[in-house]
Amino acid sequence: MPCSCICSNAKLKNGFYVQNVYDELDRVIETKYNGVTKFTYTYNGNGQLYSMTDAINSTTTCYEYDSIGRLIRAREMSGTTKKLGVQNLYDSLGRPSSSVYDIEGFTETYAINYKANSNLISSFTLNRDSVTTTKSYTYDKFDRLYQTTLDHGAARILLKGYSYLDGATSAKTTTLVNSEIFNDVSTVYSYEYDAVGNITNVKFNGVSKSSYEYDALNQLTRENNAYANQSCTYEYDDAGNILYKRTYAYTTGTLGLVQSTISYGYNNANWGDLLTSYAGSAITYDAIGNPTNWKNIAGLQWQGRNLTYASLDGLDYGISYTYNADGIRTRKYAWLPSGNTDFNYILDGSKILKETRTGAQNATLYYYYDDAGSITGFTYNNVDYYFGKNIQGDVKYIYDTTGAVVVEYAYDAWGNILSTTGSLASTIGVINPFRYRSYYYDSETGVYHS
């Protein structure tokens, strides 16, 4: 019989509370939000999680393990409908060798190949609907990444080459990337660093595009961004809180007249780093520090730390959000002047495998990932697109299946999107949500969702 007491009861100052119910072996068997059961759990004879039922999203997920406790199968059901099936296989050395995903009937098979006598990966393949995508890796004598290739069937999509910064003496080297080449010598990004490894200059084909300065605490104090045609300075208080952002005409030399200033205020005596104003507009919070308004976003409502609703442009339009037991977003519903759209996500952990948009927007996207779990590209309307990312993980390019660049993005140091260009900028460039640092971009609010 389960323990009749609630052994965990976390009540937050904003009125939201979470209760966990435990069995006699001290395992969580039930989680309640404000007294209402949201998640239930069962376990197998080895004490491993066997099933999790999510009352919020109306799903039940079951898990199966091998004799040494590794997850080999998982199945997520919504009633009698299978939303997701996953099968994991391992090689004779215990390393992951393949994974098969059944995403509402769409099958993806990932396979990993390793270098001989090494745990370094030599290639990673994805098979789906008779199409094979292969990402291959070549390493230098120090086992640093030297080259990667990405192929769509027989077509070469992307070849990237890397060189590394020399060390303090001719006999030493580093792991800092000095340059990366996209496909050919006409697309070369090179990087310069300060003594502690902060990037100080990014050049495209030898021409500086972004340069940076830092203070003794490694806080960014100046950015010169050629894409934005602006230079910006940043001022901080002694606690590291940003106080001012000042914008100037672009230059890498002496700054001219200030064109604009954004101020940041911190006026809470009990919470020194709580941002209370931005550019003269007040920011308010609930009892646990969740903002209740931000710029043009008002009426922010929270369930613990999960944002559940935001109103835009007053109270006429808004967005609601739904999450799973891990706090990962499973649904977004947007009421906008252009119409209403329902966004639904099928997940593997925090990775989005499938996104379905219905309403004002109608789209089905399947996302795929590399061996490190980094987003690699997507399928939209049965057409595949691939990402070209820089060393910081920013999606800079989108390639079609011939290897042609169809979208290019430019960002500032904070991820603001400065431009979207290319032959498919107004379609694929907008539909794709993965941008700066490979974060998911919510276009409705202009905020990234990691």
pLDDT digits (tens, 9 = 90+) for 53-93: 999 999 999 999 999 999 999 999 999 999 999 999 999 99
Q: What angle is formed at CA 413 by the lines to CA 312 and CA 375, rounded to 5 degrees?
A: 75
Question: What is the enclosing helix (H) or strand (E) of 430?
Answer: helix 428-431
Only one residue has tokens 């100037």, namely 248
User: Quick one: pLDDT band at residue 315, thresholds 50, 70, 90?
Assistant: low
- Cβ-based burial of 95 (10 A; exposed 0-12, middle 13-18, buried ≥19): exposed
Contact present, 365 and 375 (Cβ < 8 Å):
no
Q: Which one-letter amino acid corresponds to residue 67?
A: S
Mind listing the pLDDT tens digit for each residue in 363-382? 999 999 999 999 999 999 99
Q: What is the pLDDT of residue 7?
A: 63
Q: In which element (H, E) is residue 190 found?
A: strand 188-193
Q: What is the pLDDT of residues 229-253, one digit of tens each?
A: 999 999 999 999 999 999 999 999 9
Classified as helix, coil or strand, 429 is: helix
Angstrom CA distances, 115 to 58, 99, 145, 327, 390, stand at 43, 19, 13, 37, 25
Q: Which residues, 6+ apart, have CB-to-CB distance to 230 below 8 Å?
A: 247, 248, 249, 250, 259
Residues in the chain, overall count: 450
Q: Residue 4: is its pLDDT beyond 80?
A: no
pLDDT at 1: 47
Q: What share of the chain in percent tops pLDDT 90?
A: 90
| Backbone angles phi and psi of 436, in degrees to 5 | -60, 130
Please report the pLDDT score of residue 15 as a whole number.
Answer: 83
Encode pLDDT of 124-138 as tens digits.
999 998 899 999 999
* CB proximity list for 132: less than 8 A, separation 6 or greater: 125, 126, 153
Q: Tokens 């390493």 belong to which residue?
A: 139
- Quick one: pLDDT band at residue 184, thresholds 50, 70, 90? confident
pLDDT on residue 298: 86
- What is the residue-averaged pLDDT of the chain? 95
Task: Average the pLDDT over 96-109 and give the result.
Answer: 97
Reduced 3-state DSSP string for 241-295: CEEEEEEEECCCCCCCCCCEEEEEECCCCCCCCCCCEECCEECCECCCCCECCEC
Q: Distance (Å, rounded) from C-alpha 293 to C-alpha 276?
A: 10
What's the one-letter identity of residue 277? Answer: S
Q: Which two tokens stand for residue 211?
A: 């340069």
What's the gap between Cα 379 and its chain centre? 18
Q: According to the model, what pLDDT value does residue 13 have?
A: 77
Predicted local confidence at residue 11, as pLDDT = 73
**pLDDT above 70 (res 303):** yes
Q: Tens of pLDDT along 342-365?
A: 999 999 999 999 999 999 999 999
Residue 8: pLDDT over 80: no
The pLDDT confidence band at residue 197, using thresholds 50, 70 and 90, is very high
Band of residue 185 on the pLDDT scale cut at 50, 70, 90: confident
Task: Tell me the C-alpha distance between 391 and 407, whole Å.
Answer: 18
Q: Which residue has the higher pLDDT, 296 or 192?
A: 192
Cβ-count burial of 387 within 10 angstroms (0-12 exposed, 13-18 middle, 19+ buried)? buried
Rounded to whole angstroms, what are the CA distances from 198 to 114, 218, 425? 32, 8, 31
